[in-house]
């Protein structure tokens, strides 16, 4: 089966890591067979905005809408901003336009990477921060929804929680926990909120409890956001899938990345009913663009998430095998100390890490 991917390399190291992800996906495709991935490169980002006054090209918008998935490198340059001081963020508009409500942020510890916690159980960290991506406090971020007061004395942003989106999000969380349980996961979903203070969060938890009834095989519990941040330092190995509002997820996913070595392995999938966008969760790091220093693993692991997504949509099991091959190869490469990214104090740059992974994939 043939799959066509709208590919936005974007800014800074987005170019470097996207090239790496495409190369590794190509190696997995050749090894497994049974499918074909075609990458269609289109323009978006801060550099494109600086040149054209648009943050995304018409071709990119069309490709994102019509093709099978979106692969994004990184967007943003510190010197290129809107008049109100905010960064160039066309991907936020794509989230809104395509209703990519389920932001999947895996956090997994690998061997021979920096361990921030002394407890040996930290080596078993493997959880998902599931971040709602279209509402919450980010609701005001889309340009056409900047409402309310905004002047030199006061600014207000709107936090929005709706039942239809929240129901879909919680169902996604339980299905994801069930899928992970089939592969040896804990079968647990934790609703992270601040329902003791905010009506919006009480509503979020109420809907969680309603949807949990349909998944008796999955443990459902709650945690306040402040307590959850504490628990991710005290006992992160106990958690499986954590579902939360947009801003909470934005913060905890970076905390999770810090627990397992850094944002260089922080992959991300943003999934809606009809579209999926896949990107590393790190920024564009323009200071090291083109210097062969970036850790490409977050983009590569995001590529594996994309293959899994395409498998779910198409029923093509060879895509699952390819995704597992990439994930297993990354884990095996760390275990054997065959990849040593500069981000972790090693000597291997973007190209060296990518070449080593491809060599391991291509060797039966």
- Give the DSSP per-residue string, 52-121: HS-SB-HHHHHHHHHSSEEEEEE--BTTBB-TTS-B--HHHHHHHHHT--EEEEEEE--TTS---S-SGG
What pLDDT, on the 0 to 100 scale, is given for residue 147? 60
- Two domains, one topology: 1-99+278-364 and 115-260: yes
Positions in the chain whose pLDDT score sits under 70: 141-148, 364
Q: What residues does each domain of the chain span?
A: 1-99+278-364, 115-260
What does the pLDDT look like over 150-161, one tens digit per residue?
788 888 888 999
- Between CA 178 and CA 184 the distance in angstroms is 10
Check: CATH 3.40.718.10 for 115-260? yes
What pLDDT, on the 0 to 100 scale, is given for residue 145? 52
Name the CATH code of domain 1-99+278-364 (choices 1.10.10.60, 3.40.718.10, 3.40.50.720, 3.40.50.12280): 3.40.718.10
pTM: 0.93
Residue 214: what are its φ and ψ, rounded to 5°?
A: -80, 0
What pLDDT, on the 0 to 100 scale, is given for residue 144? 47
- Between CA 357 and CA 339 the distance in angstroms is 8
270 membership: H or E segment, kind and range: strand 269-271
């Amino acid at each position: 089966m043939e799959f066509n991917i709208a590919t936005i390399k974007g800014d800074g190291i987005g170019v470097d890591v996207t090239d790496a992800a495409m190369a590794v996906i190509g190696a997995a495709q050749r090894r497994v067979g049974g499918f074909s991935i075609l990458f269609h490169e289109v323009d978006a980002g801060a550099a494109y905005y600086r040149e054209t006054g648009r943050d995304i090209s018409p071709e990119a918008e069309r490709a994102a809408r019509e093709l099978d998935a979106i692969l994004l490198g990184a967007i943003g340059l510190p010197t290129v901003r809107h008049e109100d001081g905010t960064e160039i963020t066309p991907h936020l508009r794509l989230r809104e336009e395509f209703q990519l409500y389920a932001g999947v942020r895996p956090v997994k510890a690998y061997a021979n990477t920096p361990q921030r916690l002394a407890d040996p159980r930290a080596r078993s960290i493997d959880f998902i921060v599931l971040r709602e991506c279209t509402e919450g406090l980010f609701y005001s971020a889309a340009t056409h929804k900047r409402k309310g007061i905004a002047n030199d004395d006061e600014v207000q942003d709107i936090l929005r929680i709706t039942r239809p989106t929240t129901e879909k999000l919680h169902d996604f969380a339980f299905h994801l926990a069930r899928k992970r349980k089939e592969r040896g996961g804990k079968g647990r979903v934790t609703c992270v909120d601040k329902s003791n203070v905010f009506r919006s969060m009480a509503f979020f938890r109420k809907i969680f409890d309603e949807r949990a009834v349909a998944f008796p095989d999955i443990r459902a519990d709650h945690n306040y956001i402040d307590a959850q941040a504490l628990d991710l330092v005290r006992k992160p190995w106990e958690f499986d899938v954590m579902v939360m509002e947009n801003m909470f997820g934005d913060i905890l996913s970076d905390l999770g990345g810090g627990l397992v070595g850094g944002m260089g392995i922080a992959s991300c999938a943003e999934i809606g009913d009809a579209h999926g966008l896949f990107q590393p969760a790190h920024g564009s790091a323009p200071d090291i663009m083109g210097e062969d220093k970036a850790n490409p693993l977050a983009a590569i692991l995001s590529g594996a998430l994309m293959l899994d997504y395409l498998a779910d949509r198409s029923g093509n099991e060879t895509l699952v095998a390819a995704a597992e091959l990439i994930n297993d190869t990354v884990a095996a490469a760390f275990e054997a100390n065959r990849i040593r990214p500069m981000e972790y104090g090693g000597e291997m740059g973007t190209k060296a890490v990518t070449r080593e992974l491809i060599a391991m994939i291509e060797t039966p």
